[in-house]
Amino acid sequence: MTRFLLALLLALATPLAHAAAPTDAQIDRLLDVMRMRQALETMLPQVEAMQQQMFERMTADTPMSAEQRALAQRILARTSQNLRNTLTWGKLAPIYRDVYRTTFDAQDMDAMIDFYGSAAGQRVLEKMPKAMQATMAATQTLVAPMMQQMQKDIAEELQQAQDKS
């Protein structure tokens, strides 16, 4: 009987022990100590440079006139501008807040604020972009042949469709 009462009390207490949701202030503090806004501002030029490099790799074996190359560069510039217009801090911050609010509880927030606010956490944040850039560069060596094959497949499909018509 004692075990039954103990189990019943524990079962009833479980909802009371539910973790508290993080506050907006906690989330904003975490985003601040993690330097998320600065990370975004650093990331955009890197993405643009990667787009340019990928374009150069994909078109290296493709003869293009000066006019075609200029058109492609205008498309890349427009894509970059659209990216910059879409990925603004004003648009991303509410998304980060919602994701962090639904993913982490208040205790998680405090622990992450403590870590990323520490010297060790700040060093991680300083080194992470370099680690991510190196990872992305290494990944491009895997993706580039796939993109070239995709380009070849598309050209062949277009040629076959043109031959049929």
Nearest to 56 by CA among 158, 153, 144: 144
Residue 59 CB contacts under 8 Å (≥ 6 apart), including other chains: 69, 72
Let me know: does 105 contact 19? Beta carbons within 8 Å: yes
Note down pLDDT in tens along the chain; length 165 residues.
556 545 545 555 554 456 799 999 999 999 999 999 998 888 888 888 888 888 888 778 888 888 888 888 898 889 889 888 998 999 999 999 999 999 999 999 999 999 999 999 999 999 988 898 899 888 888 888 888 888 888 888 888 888 887
Structure tokens at 40: 């975004």
Predicted local confidence at residue 1, as pLDDT: 57
- Which token pair is 147? 């993109």
pTM: 0.64
What is the rounded end-to-end Cα distance, in angstroms, of the chain?
84
